[in-house]
Structure 1
Amino acid sequence: MKAFIAIVFIAAFIDFGNAISCYDCVGTGSSDCGDPFSGSSSVKQTDCSSSPLYENKCWKTTGSNGLISRSCSTLGVCSLLGNGCETSGGESVCCCDGNLCNSASTTGISYVTFASLIIASFLGMM
């Protein structure tokens, strides 16, 4: 019985590599694609495994002109950036790896980043 519970517990944390879907739209603050995001049924959803040019991550970009784009990440971009947001010159790119995760106004910090910060803080106290 203990072995069964251990297997179920471990299986809960395994990533089986399923493809994710992302919102796919372009717009401004007042459109269905803008912020705050409505997530209405008129906003297209794309399966990230549908093209070899996509990676299995979503992104949201915001231009300095206020134009917002949401879609599957172009191959390699979010792998380099990781989960979270990068801002430069009034433009931002936010990456995430959950199903339809590019609906948020901002993307939260990843668990790996959070754990790294905790460990670094702990090591700094030693």
Structure 2
Amino acid sequence: MKYIIALLLVIQCIGFVSTYQCYSCNSVSTLACGDPFNANSIPSTEIVEAGPNEVCEKSNVGGIITRSLATTITCIGGVNGCKKASPLGIDVVTCCCNSNLCNGVPATQQKTLLFTILCAITMLVYHWF
């Protein structure tokens, strides 16, 4: 049993090391890029690979949606989080994430998936010791 848990943890860590892709589009030039998001209508040219220290980002500035790459330093809400601000009276919501095509998923789904994974790992570690 201990070996299975160790193997699962190693497999989980591999996902953090491997590269992932992000959508790179905006709702002005590509309507499918807005909310609701339509991944089937996004051309493959609007999918880019994240480099080292890069994450996927989704921002909503006054209703205009942009999905792109960002550096981990510029993620004001954290690497897997969101931040809302209203500079000059314009609502701005920025979310960052670090899994494959995650900036095409609503933020609530990202948090639910992360919570589920953390719960599963906690349960496995608890039963291991």
Q: Which of 78, 92, 96 lines up with 1:81 in the alignment?
A: 78
Query: What residue in structure 1 maps to residue 47 of structure 2?
Result: 45
* 1:18-37 deviations in Å (ceiling 9; x for gaps): 11100000114x81110000
Query: What residue in structure 2 maps to residue 95 of structure 1?
Result: 96
Structure 1 letter corresponding to 2:8: F
The whole-number CA distance in structure 2 between the counterparts of 1:103 and 1:75 is 18
The whole-number CA distance in structure 2 between the counterparts of 1:63 and 1:79 is 15
Query: What residue in structure 1 maps to residue 124 of structure 2?
Result: none
SS at match of 2:8: helix
Q: Is the 8 Å Cα contact of residues 20 and 99 (structure 1) preserved in structure 2? A: yes
CA 1:9–1:18 in 2, change beyond 3 Å: closer, same or farther? closer
Superposition TM-score, scaled by structure 2 size = 0.66
**Number of residue pairs matched by the alignment:** 106
Structure 1: gaps (5+ residues)? 116-126
Range with bigger deviation, 4-13 or 35-44: 4-13
The whole-number CA distance in structure 1 between the counterparts of 2:37 and 2:103 is 9
Query: What residue in structure 2 maps to residue 122 of structure 1?
Result: none
Q: Is the 8 Å Cα contact of residues 20 and 56 (structure 1) preserved in structure 2? A: no
Q: Is the 8 Å Cα contact of residues 22 and 58 (structure 1) preserved in structure 2? A: yes
The structure in which a higher percent of residues are helix is 2
Q: Is the 8 Å Cα contact of residues 21 and 48 (structure 1) preserved in structure 2? A: yes
The whole-number CA distance in structure 2 between the counterparts of 1:31 and 1:3 is 49
Q: What's the RMSD between the two structures over aligned residues?
A: 2.7
CA 1:3–1:91 in 2, change beyond 3 Å: closer, same or farther? closer
Q: Which of 53, 56, 63 lines up with 2:54 in the alignment?
A: 56
Identity %: 29
2:28 equivalent to 1:31: no
Structure 1 letter corresponding to 2:49: D
SS at match of 2:13: coil
Superposition TM-score, scaled by structure 1 size = 0.68
Structure 2: gaps (5+ residues)? 120-129
The whole-number CA distance in structure 1 between the counterparts of 2:71 and 2:4 is 39
